[in-house]
Amino acid sequence: MKKLFSLWALLLSFAYLPALAQRATPDQVQTNKGPLTIQPILHGTAVLNWNGKTIYIDPYGGAAAFEGIAAPDLVLITDIHGDHLDQKTLDALNTSKASFVVPQAVADKLPENLKAKAVVLGNGENTTQQGIPITAVPMYNLPESPDARHIKGRGNGYILNLGDKNIYFSGDTEGIPEMRTLQNIDVAFVSMNLPYTMDVDQAADAVLDFQPRIVYPYHYRGQNGLSDVETFKRLVNEGNKNIEVRLRNWYPEY
């Protein structure tokens, strides 16, 4: 039995190797308090390392997706859907030292041990955690309706102030007015997957309105596979060649 268990564990470890081997190389952005390291993980999941702090955004993909990455000091969750609030992944990770920032709908679904560590933000509210100012911003579908996949006020996008840089995670949203009027965004992560969020044309149009210095298309797997992020890049740069569009591998399994 022990030999069978060891063989099974070995086979599982090999199964994860392709995903780990294909994980995107981390990027860096310089801030006035040292480098910000950006590690794409999977779909809408990213890890930021800055000023001695490790920040997980919507941890998803199981413990293997985070192998070799430091345990989080801060966890931000945008919405209740399973690719954002993934309890199995949270259970598999070491979150013992982490603070959580979540909308109320997410807090309502957390187990008591995590709920006790959660700071609840509504749209437009802010907090400072681990020395990092965080603002919750709206994320929702258009047109607004009670039966939309993402209704206004349930979930949060987030803006993190890391030194002199403002980092925006859109969460699951369309090109809403609150996104289009953002200002002074240095790095933006923008979703684009139908039918859950928006297509690449709407995403590019919204980005051209708020003009981040760097934009990452993320969360771009929909019902018909991966969105055409090359077209997104072309549309953005035809409209504003000064916006740096970074295309990275958010889907190691493909």
Q: Under 8 Å CB-to-CB from 23, ≥6 apart: which residues?
A: 39, 40, 41, 249, 252
Please tell me the predicted confidence (pLDDT) of residue 145.
85
Q: Which fold has domain 25-245?
A: Metallo-beta-lactamase; Chain A (3.60.15)
Model confidence at 254, in pLDDT bands (50, 70, 90)? low
Q: Which has the minimum average pLDDT: 15-19, 46-50, 164-168, 170-174?
A: 15-19
In this prediction, residues 72-97 reach a mean pLDDT of 97
Spell out the domain ranges in the chain: 25-245
DSSP string, 164-229: TEEEEE--S--S-HHHHT--S-SEEEEE--TTTS--HHHHHHHHHHH--SEEEEE--EETTEE--H
Q: What ranges in the chain are assigned the alpha helix state H?
A: 2-21, 87-92, 104-107, 112-115, 177-180, 200-210, 229-239
More confident residue, 148 or 75: 75
Note the pLDDT of residue 19: 45
Average of per-residue pLDDT across 47-74: 97
Is the pLDDT at 18 greater than 70? The verdict is no
**Mapping DSSP to helix (H, G, I), strand (E, B) and coil, where does residue 104 land?**
helix
SS3 66: helix
Could you give the percent of the chain with pLDDT greater than 70? 91
| Mean of per-residue pLDDT scores for the chain | 91
Helices vs strands, H then E, count in the chain: 7, 16
CA 39 to chain CA mean position, Å: 10
